[in-house]
Structure 1
């Protein structure tokens, strides 16, 4: 179907009730926006199925999407593409309150915390080809269903690169994320039994927790590379976890030289330094076919693959891990050991891991 190209001047005309380049109600429209024009105005005027095409150049906005099937497409995530910078004043909405770059948001009862639920979802939608620089949060997906964040560059976020909270069927792929104060990618889907979240082919550097999953079920983390951070992948669960376990699959990733030092902060009282994969109070997870190397630190959570209960976080009601499979990983140069397990939990299996040292001994190349 023929698409219509509209400037923001046309967007404002439509918003004001003036017909400009009208098309049938079922036809998708391509809205073109250039530097100096308003991305938010185009989003506000768009209908489900429309695309907001951003020309190359720099924009200073915080953009919130509360409609189904809206695509925001930049001209590329390099310095010569579409660059989104923080505005001098943030808007008075959820996205502005969180000082985020681009937000897709449904309706949530309360905050996006562990006790929250989505009461309605924004479905579909995509953000791609945008360079997002200098926000507190780069991209926020909250109460979304089937939303994609792919092919973006996110850097210098003081808190998070991409957050996926109270959402399902999200795809976070092929993003380059660096220099983030907390987690480059944070999954917190809490009370959704199986979120079917896919995190794949992302490159993360110099970010506190790399990729992090908190009380989330049905998360597939594959073919990502994390380096220069405090940890590669961090799963944390406590008594608020989803009943039935996390159902995590961490496969075919490269976690190397994550030796930055994160002191106890951001809800984790223990220091984190030199960790490839950390599973704290996690159940129902598989860690397989990962390359985990040169992650070295002095802390309890340091090492290649580290498995511990959550007792240190909640002594009165600790979550003890269970039903974990650690298999066919290549681990070397991690310290104090390539595999570390505190001995707690049941159904913990180690097999065919190529590594040098473990605590307790005997977890390398075991069958």
Structure 2
């Protein structure tokens, strides 16, 4: 190698090293904000910038928390170790003044119509006893909720609206007043179904709620490998007369069993008991490879897998029910209540269907 070549090689190496070095300050800029018992989680969140992590020590924290900055991670020390409950005694003035707290929620991830909150992660903590929702998200993109227990809240355990690409994984939602896990297009307007851009709800446990999971007016979403038991109804996939219609939903590999709790009727729904997987007003969806057993009741939507009559006269159409084990459910393992066209039932293991002939 000539001296000139050596000089050129040294220059290239210096340039590469300079480029690598330029990335280091950005990585080094990530800050970890530690919150100990007696300190405010909200104050730490307010000081966080995109990419920062807020870690919460073991203990019980009495406050609500509102995350409005993209790229923030809120991480507890583990479910049952870091517990967030309502502040009923000595409320932090900033926390109690937030819209999140005033609405009765625990942790909120809050975007606006002009700017979504993106890539937020909430994990490894317990939310308990809030008047409305343990964790509520609106106008988010890429929210991840993992290893969160949300229990004994007045309405929903974990809820989200107007959001895309969400991931809800390895959570436990228990004994909440309505749905353990609720995802929908919007809660305050009549609109067509929202394309979630492949949101995922997987490996969650839903127990003792009115409804384990409600998916309302959404498209392009996967519900896979969850367990639902002890609820009045396990899973509701819900549409109505608005367009675009809900659809392209994938319900795969879930274990749905013994959802036989009794829940009285409401202004929106008849009484519930013994419902497994219920589709109402949904199109082009796939219910495949689920194990659905021992969901027993005599309510209007009781049964294993039910294509239910929709109260807004929206039909179930072109849905595929395939390769499920659906046994010991009452009033039937497979039930079709409406006159929607193109629904197919194939290779299911079941004993009783209404109408007959689908097993």
- Give the TM-score band, short-chain normalised: 0.7 to 0.9
Answer whether contact 1:219 1:248 (CA < 8 A) is retained: yes
Question: Is 1:85 matched up with 2:90?
Answer: no
Q: How many angstroms apart in 2 are the aligned matches of 1:193 and 1:128?
A: 25
Question: Which position in structure 2 is the counterpart of 1:10?
Answer: none
Q: How many angstroms apart in 2 are the aligned matches of 1:163 and 1:119?
A: 21
As a proportion of its length, which structure holds more helix? 2
Question: Is 1:259 matched up with 2:260?
Answer: yes
Give the TM-score normalised by structure 1. 0.85
Once the two structures are superposed, residues 43-85 of structure 1 have per-residue CA deviations (whole angstroms, 9 ceiling, x without a partner) of 111100000010111100100001101100000002xx11111
Q: Which runs of 4+ in 1 moved over 3 A?
A: 23-26
Secondary structure, aligned partner of 1:326: strand
Once the two structures are superposed, residues 179-205 of structure 1 have per-residue CA deviations (whole angstroms, 9 ceiling, x without a partner) of 111000001025533442210000111
Q: How many angstroms apart in 2 are the aligned matches of 1:104 and 1:155?
A: 18
Question: Which position in structure 1 is the counterpart of 2:179?
Answer: 183
Question: Is 1:38 matched up with 2:33?
Answer: no
Q: How many angstroms apart in 2 are the aligned matches of 1:162 and 1:235?
A: 16
> Within 5 Å, which residues of 2 pair with 1:150-169?
150-169=146-165
Question: Which position in structure 2 is the counterpart of 1:243?
Answer: 244
Q: How many angstroms apart in 1 are the aligned matches of 2:133 and 2:78?
A: 19
Question: Which position in structure 2 is the counterpart of 1:13?
Answer: none
Answer whether contact 2:164 2:195 (CA < 8 A) is retained: no
Answer whether contact 1:195 1:216 (CA < 8 A) is retained: no
Q: How many angstroms apart in 2 are the aligned matches of 1:41 and 1:34?
A: 12
Once the two structures are superposed, residues 150-208 of structure 1 have per-residue CA deviations (whole angstroms, 9 ceiling, x without a partner) of 00111111110100111000001101111111000001025533442210000111001
Q: Which runs of 5+ in 1 are unaligned?
A: 1-22, 108-117
RMSD value, Cα: 1.6
Q: How many angstroms apart in 2 are the aligned matches of 1:262 and 1:199?
A: 24
Task: Compute the displacement of 1:281 (Å).
Answer: 1.2
Question: Which position in structure 1 is the counterpart of 2:62?
Answer: 60
Question: Which position in structure 1 is the counterpart of 2:12?
Answer: none
Q: How many angstroms apart in 2 are the aligned matches of 1:91 and 1:166?
A: 25
Q: How many angstroms apart in 2 are the aligned matches of 1:86 and 1:172?
A: 23
Question: Which position in structure 1 is the counterpart of 2:297?
Answer: 297
Secondary structure, aligned partner of 1:362: coil
Q: Count the aligned residue pairs.
A: 323
Cα 1:73–1:259 shift into 2, 3 Å: same
Answer whether contact 2:217 2:245 (CA < 8 A) is retained: no
Task: Compute the displacement of 1:244 (Å).
Answer: 4.9
Q: How many angstroms apart in 2 are the aligned matches of 1:148 and 1:206?
A: 24
Once the two structures are superposed, residues 76-134 of structure 1 have per-residue CA deviations (whole angstroms, 9 ceiling, x without a partner) of 002xx111111115623331132111111101xxxxxxxxxx44210001110111111
Q: 1:105 aligns with which of 94, 105, 110?
A: 110
Answer whether contact 2:246 2:281 (CA < 8 A) is retained: no
Task: Compute the displacement of 1:343 (Å).
Answer: 4.4
Q: How many angstroms apart in 2 are the aligned matches of 1:72 and 1:218?
A: 27
Task: Compute the displacement of 1:24 (Å).
Answer: 5.7
Give the TM-score normalised by structure 2. 0.87
Once the two structures are superposed, residues 18-63 of structure 1 have per-residue CA deviations (whole angstroms, 9 ceiling, x without a partner) of xxxxx96761100000010000001111100000010111100100
Q: 1:322 aligns with which of 311, 317, 342?
A: 317
Once the two structures are superposed, residues 250-281 of structure 1 have per-residue CA deviations (whole angstroms, 9 ceiling, x without a partner) of 0100110001112222x533222101101111
Answer whether contact 2:324 2:347 (CA < 8 A) is retained: yes
> Within 5 Å, which residues of 2 pair with 1:194-213?
194-213=196-215
Task: Compute the displacement of 1:246 (Å).
Answer: 1.8
